[in-house]
Amino acid sequence: MEIHFNSVSLLPSFFLLLVIFVRKTKKSNQRLPPGSWKLAIIGSIHHLIGALPHHVLRNLSKKYGPIMHLKLGEIDAVVVSSPHMAKQVLKVHDLSFAARPELIASDIVFYRQKDILFAKYGDYWKQMRKICISELLGAKMVKSFSLIRQDEVHDLVASIRSTPNVVVNVSEKVLRVTCSVICRLAFGKVWDDGDNLLMLMREVLALSGGFDVADFFPSWTLLHEIGGMRSRLKRMHKKFDVILEKIIHEHKENRANGKEGNSEFGGEDLIDVLLRVMEKNGELRFPITNDSVKAIVLDFFFEGTETSSVILQWALSELMKNPNMMAKAQTENDLNDNDVEELKYLKLVINETLRLHPASPLLGLRQCREATEIDGYTIPLNSQVDVNGWVIARDSESWDDPETFMPERFEKEFSNVVYPLAQLLYHFDWKLPYGQRPEDLDMTETLGISATRKNDLHLIAISHDLKCPWKLPIIGSMHHLIGVLPHHVLRNLSKKYGPIMHLKLGEIDTVVVSSAHMAKQVLKVHDLCFAARPELMSSDIVFYNQNDIVFAKYGDYWKQMRKICISELLSAKMVKSFSLIRQDEVHDLVASIRSTPNVVVNISEKILRLTSSVICRSAFGKVWDDRDNLLMLMREVLSLSGGFDVADLFPSWTLLHGIGGMRNRLKSLHQKIDVILEKIIHEHKENRANGKKGNSEFGGEDLIDVLLRVMENGELQFPITNDSVKAVVLDLFFGGTETSSVIIQWALSELMKNPKVMAKAQAEVRRVCKGKKDLNDNVVEELKYLKLVINETLRLHPASPLLGLRQCREETKIDGYTIPLKSQVVVNGWAIARDPESWDDPEAFVPERFEKNSVDFNGNHFQYIPFGAGSRMCPGMHFGLANVVYPLAQLLYHFDWKLPYGQQPEDLDMTETLGISATRKNDLNLIAISYD
């Protein structure tokens, strides 16, 4: 506690003392530190009345040195004002100065010093400090409270945003949010008495900032009630006590009823921890009582609330006074407790704020436990020792330009400070009100335990609302998207309206995400909040009321089917078992192209036929007679499903749902597909009934065999039906056929457009494969450069540019923006992969960018997510890629390729088509010249 005085209560006392008493000072042979001149009776007190103690003590130290002696009434006080002297007190002679003086405020407020901060030095203090470090403030416990911090700060942001562009009392709001955080950490929730508790706390802090007559003249007992401070503290303490007793009683009742944790998020709050420790009283040397619990909770309440609030206010004040530093700090944008670690400059700002504005300028008041000698000066027994941390941090011997706010000086943690400050800087621009300029901002401190601002900080917050392109009545933002490639126009809109923007598509709220940071928020940080799929007419009809995996509703059925897919259908072993099918089909492709040398080949058509044949044989065991029909139907369905129907955009307008004919056409196509699939499943079931467990051409199971085997399992929570089998097979057919085909076509297109890259890729393939009779999957693993080509193709041409449409399962806040329940969320993976913030020369095809780069497509690097990320990430990624690398390697090995009709590489049309997958608008036609 600092040396700070309640002058109203002290002055009458001093007047009486001067009139009534005459005391003779005793001479001493001790060599005390030098000190200022003294008056009779009151000693050095007159120097400090009405002034900021840490300021006046700095001025005195300039005259009397870095260690000086003051006589405060009957009390010897020693003030330390340099790093060297602080080291002597706080390290070299730490145990000699480890006691706290008995002050009236700490005695009353903290239950006769049963807390930790003001407890007498001894075994009780050691026990309670150990409990605090190991149980209350361990790293695990602090981390467990991160959700509370985030929740309260989100509310703070929403509160400021609700009244845009008006003057905000930031001091009041920051104090309230830090108080709420501490309440919820300590008590498990914000209690109904929270406002009362906050008011009492502020009154106690104001009173406790000074010393009473009893603190300066402990032997003059007749005067101890003069000033009324003792009686006022007792009165407020009783009010505190009633609230805390009520809270502890409720916690004890909950524990008696089997509820071990009262925290809102399921764990223990601080009172739970202390009560759990209390139940082990038989093992403790000093049993914990209710008074101990209340005293420690008050430690947290006073220190946590006031300290965090003071730092936040001063940090914002200094940033307002230094606009260049404000701008630099606001460029850092990560906003959860994990990502806060990345806010390097903001931490420098807080370090510098703590240097210039320490929450407790005079640190904690200490008492000398034994006469101690420091640098030749004797510190008498029971002397009070103050370390002026404020002046030490402004010492020109230790700091260059010490009065200047310069965060960069620390370039070589504070969870309740960094996170709220980051949020405030991110979500708002700040202005001084009433035409003030930065240099006009009042930076005066107040008298008190903590050196907070004398006047509240008032600022104008300018909100960054979720922006939206202009809308028309009824259709909203739909006109922006008609007749254009959605991922292109959405990127253009995001350049104007930001990396997260709102569109109104008919009746549907749609949020579009166009940056790696925002994608991470949706696909990782809040993954489960966005794990649902919207119910679209096409997915409902085509996939048997969403009985598949890709479009299934989020829930236990989806979890069950996804698990079956990963562990049974598309496991590494299963994918590898299909390698002979891939090799056989690619062999036929090469033979087909070779049979018509030096003529124009429709590569798009041949590649689509290849991938569909691989999927057919992997799923059904052979290429069925209806394959061509199935392929034609699939392409029609894909073409129709690439858009939204009236029913998707205006779900309440039921009378219009049949307009356009899309529903009827999809139903007609679906019935035809269903007949083919039912026929295939029926034959598989007959074969299994006749003892043939595997229908694959190479003796094992095909994908339908696997699903039928799982269907026979009676242990599933959700029995698999024929509709489930057909829906999952269609997932694989649509996803595997279209995705693999699109990637191969774009890879060949980019290679034709970039002859040097083509030459390098072909040289690698022909070098690795030279002398080998067959190219198998093991050989393909050696094709390092070809894999870079495929990585770069996936970056520029992801098969699903807008990833999979998601739906918000619950109202969710992302970076302070509220995403409404059931909003559709679009992640523009295509735009993110071309973002110049993440990629150098992003529009250029440069496979080498991946050569010494740890970025991959497994969903961990959000600047590159061609297959999505999180719980809805594409489960067939490896299956699809296996059908890309091998065919592409074979085509590069066996043929040299030329553009037809005298085209030059720069003439090659790279236009995309409208649809779910962004394939080429025009088929890729090339001339194949046989190499071998």
Nearest Cα to Cα of residue 627 among 614, 642, 638, 646: 614
Q: Is the pLDDT of residue 11 over 60?
A: no
**C-alpha gyration radius of the chain:** 37
Question: What percent of the chain has pLDDT above 70?
Answer: 90
Residue 216 has pLDDT above 90, yes or no: no
List the Cα angle 648/650/654 in 5-degree steps: 100
Q: Is the per-residue pLDDT at 321 higher than 80?
A: yes
Question: Quick one: average pLDDT of 682-710?
Answer: 82
The tokens describing 649, both together, are 């955009």
Positive or negative CA dihedral for 775, 776, 779, 783? positive
H/E element holding 920? none
What pLDDT is stored for residue 13 in this prediction?
A: 42
**CA pair distance 175, 171, nearest whole angstrom:** 6
Q: What is the pLDDT of residue 568?
A: 86
- Would you place residue 382 in the very low, low, confident or very high pLDDT band (cuts 50, 70, 90)? very high
How far lies 515's CA from each of 422, 492, 845, in Å? Answer: 19, 13, 20
Mean pLDDT calculated for residue range 856-875: 90
Highest mean pLDDT among 60-74, 185-199, 653-667: 60-74
For residues 346 and 415, the answer to whether their CB atoms sit within 8 Å is no
Say how far apart CA 932 and CA 894 lie, in whole Å: 6
CA atoms of 737 and 894, how far apart (whole Å) = 23
pLDDT in the model for residue 47: 86
Which pLDDT score is estimated for 735?
Answer: 81
Return the structure tokens found at 139: 């790293």
pLDDT tens digits, 492-544: 999 988 899 999 998 888 999 999 999 999 999 999 999 999 988 888 999 99
Mean pLDDT, residues 105-132: 89
Listed residue (711, 879, 881, 710) closest to 787, CA to CA: 881
Separation between Cα atoms, residue 627 and residue 623, nearest integer Å: 6
Please, what sign has the CA dihedral across residues 286, 290, 295, 300? positive
Domains and CATH numbers, the chain: 7-438 (1.10.630.10), 478-930 (1.10.630.10)
**413 DSSP 8-state letter:** -
> What is the tens place of the pLDDT at every residue in 264-277?
656 788 888 888 88
3-state helix/strand/coil string of 148-215:
HHHHHHHHHHHHHHCCCCCEEEHHHHHHHHHHHHHHHHHHCCCCCCHHHHHHHHHHHHHHHCCCCHHH
Alpha-carbon distance 425 to 315, whole Å?
11
* Residues sharing a CB contact under 8 Å with residue 240, sequence separation 6 or more, in sequence order: 109, 197, 200, 204, 294, 298
Q: Is the pLDDT of residue 336 over 70?
A: no
**Comparing 223 with 443, which gets the higher pLDDT?**
443
Query: What is the average pLDDT value for the chain, to the nearest integer?
Result: 84
Better-predicted residue by pLDDT, 696 or 720: 720
Q: pLDDT per residue over 814-837, tens digit each? A: 887 888 888 999 999 999 999 998
**Does 63 have pLDDT greater than 90?**
yes
In the structure encoding, which two tokens stand for residue 914, read together? Answer: 């409208």
pLDDT in tens, 21-61: 433 344 456 789 999 889 988 888 888 887 788 899 999 99
Task: List pLDDT tens digits, range 748-804.
Answer: 999 999 999 999 999 999 999 887 766 777 778 889 999 999 999 999 999 889 988
Band of residue 16 on the pLDDT scale cut at 50, 70, 90: very low
Is the Cβ–Cβ distance between 322 and 277 less than 8 Å?
A: no
- Select, from the ranges 134-143, 262-271, 359-368, the one with the highest average predicted confidence (pLDDT): 359-368
**pLDDT value of position 335:** 47
Please give the structure tokens belonging to residue 225: 């009630």
Q: Please report the pLDDT score of residue 334 as a whole number.
A: 44
Residue 923, pLDDT score: 94
The pLDDT of residue 91 is 94
pLDDT of 4 over the 60 cut: no
Indicate the residue type of 40: A
Taking the C-alpha atoms of residue 382 and residue 683, their distance in angstroms, rounded to an integer, is 96
